[in-house]
Amino acid sequence: MSDVKLFNSPERPTWCPGCGDYGILNAIKSALAGLDLYPHQVMVVSGIGCGSKLPHYMHANGFNSLHGRALPIAQGIKLANYQLTVLAVTGDGDGFGIGGNHFLHTIRRNPNITHIVEDNMVYGLTKGQYSPTSPLGFVTSTSPDGTIETAINPPLLAMSAGATFVARGFAGEPKHLTQIIMQAVQHQGYALIDVLQPCVIYNKINTYDFYRARVSKLDDDPSHDPTDLQAAMAKAREWGDRIPIGILYRVTGRPTHEEQVKVLRHGPLVRQPLDGRSAERYESLKAEYL
């Protein structure tokens, strides 16, 4: 097991005190250390939003991309070097709103990446607009009478689109979330973790107290079979007095995107020769754009 301190960054987070992103950050670092990974073996990709600052607060390879574009960037990195452990960290608006199309097509491709969504059900960075996961009637700066749009159910949507690993976590249970992330990283294929993440400024409904009174760990439910798709979808629909957290659905055997790309059978692209073309020629081409 590597030391979690290896992933500590000298940069201090600027998140609001009490933000759920702190729990997610600590869980990610603990999970990577628990898997005996080291910073040079990890790439963390984010988009734009409060939580998308996360790569700055970790000592590891990081890529802060455009709003909604974390998933295609993460897939490109995985294709270039499939030996890297690649995590995409997005908000709910970033991942399901602006990046909703990428979300669906990433599931279709099944790349071997882990997608962690900081789901606070609101756009926090841009002052509290409603997001794709905001509940019906949610009052925000852009819906003063309450939103009239139906919220999406990310785990249910992912399963219906063919995802092979779908989980729900809670930022207020970082140790439990750590275990979920470890299993997601070990899964061969696209893994979604929808993390219930309280926003202490703009969401006064889905608070820590709200979730603590309702979350129920699937680990403690002996009847739950994560390989049963219909049962898992039923669990994903549960939202009220009881909100299941843990691994909702997991199946194995489906080939990853990288396994099906023929050129990658010869090794990661970053380690393959340049097809007989001189390194000097490539350096010359690069220089034209600098």
In order of their start, the domains of the chain are: 4-264 (3.40.50.970)
Strands (E), the chain: 42-46, 61-64, 85-91, 114-119, 122-123, 129-130, 165-170, 191-196, 215-217, 243-250
Residue 141 — very low, low, confident or very high, per pLDDT cuts 50/70/90? confident
pLDDT at 275: 66
Pairing of strands 114-119, 165-170: unpaired
Q: What pLDDT does 289 receive?
A: 87
In this model, does residue 179 exceed pLDDT 90? Answer: yes
Q: Cβ atoms within 10 A of the Cβ of 137, count?
A: 12
What pLDDT does residue 277 have? 63
pLDDT, mean over the chain: 94
The count of other CB atoms within 10 Å of the CB of residue 190 is 31
Angle between helices 21-34 and 174-186 (to 10 degrees): 50
- b/e map 145-166, b = 16+ CB within 10 Å: eebeeebbbbbbbbbebebbbb
Q: Is residue 267 classed as helix, strand or coil in its secondary structure?
A: coil
60-113 pLDDT per residue, tens: 999 999 988 999 999 999 999 999 999 999 999 999 999 999 999 999 999 999
Mean pLDDT, residues 134-145: 92
Q: Which tops the pLDDT comparison, 9 or 270?
A: 9
What pLDDT sits at residue 153? Answer: 98
